[in-house]
Structure 1
Amino acid sequence: MLSAQTLDAMIVACENAKSVLRRAAIDPSERKTLNITLSAAVAAAYLDRTPEGLAKAEARGRLPAPKVASNGRRFYTVADMIAIREALGIRPGKADDERAVVVAVQNFKGGVSKSTTAKHLADYLGLRGYRVLVVDCDPQASMSVMFDINLEELIDETHTLSNFLSPQMDDADSFAKTIRHTAWPNIDICPANLGLQDTEWELTATIEDGPSAIADAFRKLRFGLEEVRGDYDVIILDPPPAMGFLGVNTLTAADGLLIPVPARQLDYLSTIHFMQTCREALELISKFDPTIDYGFIRVVCTMFQPNRTNEAQMFQVMEKTYAGQMIKTPILLSEEIKNAGVLMSSIYEVNKPYGSHQTFTRCRDNLNTVFAEVEREICKQWPSRLAQIGTDKLTEAL
């Protein structure tokens, strides 16, 4: 068949191109490494300290001597900041007896920057010192690729998310076994794999087994996360762009919902449909499990271009209609994010800006402001952190 031969040829060509792109984007060892370094000012901000405070602690011997660049300026790695938090007793996350907050970044509309937003949120929280687990529930596996997961290596692996969720797999009884480390010392991932789409159909087949089987199929991920919620501070779910059984699993597992929406009319209208579908799904699920509820639901405007009149007007409409449910600061459209994405990275993983340093700094600061709002919503879910909410002044007591 000509069509089959054509598709085979296209697949081979794409696979060859993928290998070339991977070699160009990833370290020669074919494993992604975290080589980012942060200035004293940037590191101190993520630590909720000041550069002067860090310098005093280093001078007093409370912290080891910092690394110094050839220009004489101090710099820090992510591992350094983890060590600093340990030395100073800084614990940004939950108390030992509390559970991880599960955040689903979800919208049905394609091209709204769903996975990109989830990736940047994970990396931001990693820089802030939280222990993060990312769960890629999308068969497209964009998030897994950004965290340098080789999907081909998972083909024969039995401990995968698809096997765990599949009602046909009797031996996939441990969610923890699906988790893999990333280049980030405090971010792990449960990757998507090529069998996840088949799992969607297998979960759908439980309809024939009656209400009890359907209820369990809807909550399979929720039950699995219970196994590891004590090990992390935040669990980020990257759902598929559809409300099938996989989509419902992410909704039932989440404590909070972050909805990315560009300031464009079509995206705005499609999000209304998404919210209606979510409402109907939650109403259905509540018949099986009345305990499912969200601590927060927030809309974040993505890829925003404030100099475009139509987008500026649409943003005003979003502010009014979403009222107190909207993140105040929009994520600005930036070539820095786009260029980082070409290399399967986030802006937080980039050392050298693609444009000017000013553009890079503006992009990073914008993301920090957005995700600081999300971070506050997350912290509100922990009783141990409620007293600290609203305290924006950096602590200097080192």
Structure 2
Amino acid sequence: MTRSCEEMRDRVKSIVFKPEDRKTLDLTFGPGIAADLVGRTPEALAKAEKEGRLAAPKQLSNGRRYYTLEDLTHIREALGIHAGKAPDEDAVIIAVQNFKGGVGKSTITKHFADYLALHGYRVLVIDCDPQASTTTMFDIQPETLIDDEETLGQFLSPRSTFDNFRQAIRDTAWPTIKIVPSSLGLQDAEWDLTATLREGGQAVREGLQRLRIGISSIVKDYDVILLDPPPAMGFLGLNVMAAATGLLVPVPARQLDYLSTIHFMDTIAENIEVLEANGTPVDYGFIRIVCSAYTPSKPGENDMWKMMQATYANFLLSQPILASEEIKNATQAFRSVYESKPSASHATYQRCRDNLDSVFGEVVQQVRQQWPSKSIAGRAGETVTSAAA
């Protein structure tokens, strides 16, 4: 059965990524969209091109001008546009966390990473789930890492001598997204970490902090680090909780998912106490709930959305992620909507993208508030200091 599944997977990939057999990005952007992504007007880009500060955009045979993903990077560099943090600030580390399967953790992680990259942020994705769904969406086959000694599982295992976290980082098809992929070795790491309970004291504390320690060595190299945790709270889950500086919790507008989230919140609160009791305090800059895969036309889901608004109040993002065939079709092709062409009408595709942009834009607002150089409080402080001077 395993061999048959692997053969079918390879056949699907050969169709999806043909002829390269690897994911490539052929994204292009018109002048208006390109300008919006870099935070300038089309007129400003045209002026910079006329003055020679920017290279002229590429053109199709019909005269239509367009930019590539690499062009956006060059524009930001040439015009001194930096979307992310200051060099001396730390990346915001977000765990997309929920214990229940099927809530959209990996899908949200992948789409949010791509959204951030499109807007000029440097992103590291760390797949902490042995199921490796996020790893697969970034076109890395987990089974190819079985004999690799430089993996997340090797780093987290107390028995391992591999201690250079940076060497576990891999490239992706996106120039500004890197990934620490998951592998089957993560399951072994879970057992090794659990074994530290017999030793107690310092061994347990080190076991809980291994991911945090690894991230600390590269935390200034990225703007946002996304953690995709396992759907259970063992030592891997506790490592994710200890490393994160913010939580994004997906909850579908379904009764069973809503009820299971109550248990999830109780467990999170209890495990924060466990971490603190073992010398590993946490301090989350923000916690946000995102309603995922929401269909407003379904009366039951509409009622649940209203209940979620009443329950979570300001912790709930104002926009839910709408259920969409565009998302489903993209993920079946190992892609995000941001990497894909419309599978139905352009209007349907654009509605899906606009919805995702709105949701992730809210999360980015929370992210930016964690950096003094970007936050409203930080900018206000600079204004006061400048006025005083």
Please say whether Structure 1 and Structure 2 have the same fold, judged by a TM-score greater than 0.5.
yes
2:274 is equivalent to residue 284 of structure 1: yes
- Per the TM alignment, residue 32 of structure 1 is displaced from its structure 2 partner at its CA by 1.4
8 A Cα contact 2:208 2:280, kept in partner: no
Spell out, residue by residue over 1:298-337, the C-alpha distance to the aligned partner (whole angstroms, 9 max, x if none): 0001111111111111111111110110111111111111
Aligned to 2:162: 172
Distance in 2 of aligned mates of 1:314 and 1:71:
50
Aligned to 1:202: 192
The higher relative CO (CA closer than 8 Å, separation ≥ 6) is in 1
**Structure 1 residue corresponding to 2:24, chosen from 30, 33, 55:** 33
**Structure 1 residue corresponding to 2:246, chosen from 252, 256, 276:** 256
TM-score in terms of structure 2 length: 0.95
Task: Give the 3 Å change call, closer, same or farther, for CA 389–56 of structure 1 in structure 2.
Answer: farther
Identical counterparts, % of pairs: 55
Distance in 2 of aligned mates of 1:41 and 1:302:
29
SS of equivalent to 1:307: coil
**Structure 2 residue corresponding to 1:150, chosen from 141, 145, 153:** 141
Moved runs in structure 1, 4+ residues, more than 3 A? Answer: 387-391
8 A Cα contact 2:205 2:280, kept in partner: no
Q: 1:37-116 counterparts in 2 under 5 A?
A: 37-116=28-107
Instruction: Please identify, of 249-258 and 198-207, the stretch whose mean Cα deviation from structure 2 is larger.
Output: 198-207
8 A Cα contact 1:100 1:235, kept in partner: yes
Q: 1:1-398 counterparts in 2 under 5 A?
A: 10-169=1-160, 171-289=161-279, 291-350=281-340, 352-387=341-376
Cα RMSD, aligned residues only: 1.5
Distance in 1 of aligned mates of 2:318 and 2:108:
16
SS of equivalent to 2:375: helix
TM-score in terms of structure 1 length: 0.93
SS of equivalent to 1:236: strand
Q: Tell me the amino acid that sits aligned with residue 186 of structure 1.
A: T
Q: Tell me the amino acid that sits aligned with residue 251 of structure 2.
A: V
8 A Cα contact 2:128 2:236, kept in partner: yes
Distance in 1 of aligned mates of 2:107 and 2:185:
23
Spell out, residue by residue over 1:16-62, the C-alpha distance to the aligned partner (whole angstroms, 9 max, x if none): 11111121222422221111112222222221222232222222222
SS of equivalent to 1:293: coil
Distance in 2 of aligned mates of 1:332 and 1:157:
39
In structure 1, the gaps of 5 or more residues are 1-9, 392-398
Aligned to 1:396: none
Instruction: Please identify, of 380-389 and 250-259, the stretch whose mean Cα deviation from structure 2 is larger.
Output: 380-389
Distance in 1 of aligned mates of 2:298 and 2:44:
42
8 A Cα contact 1:379 1:389, kept in partner: no
Spell out, residue by residue over 1:111-160, the C-alpha distance to the aligned partner (whole angstroms, 9 max, x if none): 11110001000000000101100000000000111111122321111100
Distance in 1 of aligned mates of 2:278 and 2:206:
9
Instruction: Please identify, of 235-244 and 51-60, the stretch whose mean Cα deviation from structure 2 is larger.
Output: 51-60
SS of equivalent to 2:309: helix
